[in-house]
Amino acid sequence: AGISTAAGIPDFRGPKGIWTLEEQAKKKEKKASKRRKLYGRTDADSNVATGGGTTGKPNFSFIDAKPTYTHRALAHLVSHTPPGEEEDGRRFLHYVITQNVDGLHRKTPDLPRSSLSILHGCVLTEKCEVCSREYIRDFEVDSIAEQPTGRYCTLGGTPPGTCGGLLRDTLLDWEGALPEKDWIRAQEECARAELIIALGTSLRIEPCNHLSMYATRGYEKDTVIDRPERDTRVDGAASGGRIPRRKQQLGCVIVNLQQTLFDQSAELVINGRVDDVMRGLMERLGYGVDSWDTASA
């Protein structure tokens, strides 16, 4: 969530994060409650201590939020070769995986859906239960846990427009299973990666946090990929087997303001803001800080 804070969307554990502010509000209320018991103060009197009765949740809009510098930089790295190396066609970044539900990656030009795994769903996306076509809305889908939204598929089917399948939200609840296609692809790409960069995440949410270690030498986690629609696994690995990785494994780089559970296993840890780090990285890679960025013009 840390890559979206510059867009006005709060993270969870940062200084202004949702859970941080809620915990602060709870502590203030607890202190205010003690004062009321000791001195007989009324709820109205305690508003000063509790911040005017605030819940600690900041106001923000998923609709109005725009992709940050980091969103745009990641998309550019996926879609463009470094200047002067167009003939080689190489790219530094091959795939993006997100746990964010804010839809900012989907709003980012140059980042195709085929280069993105969305593991926890998106507040702006509906999906057809028949043909799996996704619809990106300009309003927040007001349901969770893959519930019917009351709308129907108007573009899918053969010929196009004949599907008529029921649309459902894509947001996961705590008990929901990860979307199979995106989860499988995320594991495959991380297993093939030479280097994995974790940006703006505390790496606490299971099982996605372990993806950051897939390029780390000596990492022995078995990666079981259940792919019922196919008989083969990535690179021919058998069901339940370990996915073959690239010979060169450079490990993981973590960029986050706070410490994470995987810091000791990372090759490099940068405790900083992701936009600042990405600006420096884009310059060092030869793209320039913002000469490529049409949004900054």
Q: CA–CA separation, 221 vs 210, rounded Å? A: 9
- Residue that is written with structure tokens 């889908």 in the block: 141
Using only C-alpha atoms, the chain has a radius of gyration, in whole angstroms, of 22
Q: CA–CA separation, 98 vs 118, rounded Å? A: 5
Instruction: Give the strand pairing for 251-255 and 268-270.
Output: parallel
| Reported pTM | 0.77
Torsion of CA 208, 198, 136, 229, to 10 degrees: -40
Quick one: pLDDT at residue 297? 60
Q: Are 254 and 263 in contact (CB under 8 A)?
A: yes
Which residues does the annotation mark as catalytic? 120
**Tokens representing 166?**
């029921």
Cβ neighbors of 154 (< 8 A, separation 6 or more) are: 161, 163, 164
Q: CA–CA separation, 171 vs 192, rounded Å? A: 28
Quick one: pLDDT at residue 234? 39
Amino acid of residue 214: Y
**Tokens representing 107?**
């709003």
Q: Running along the chain, 297 residues long, what does each successive block of 10 average in pLDDT?
A: 85 46 51 47 36 45 90 94 79 94 93 95 95 95 92 94 96 87 93 94 91 84 48 38 67 95 95 95 90 77
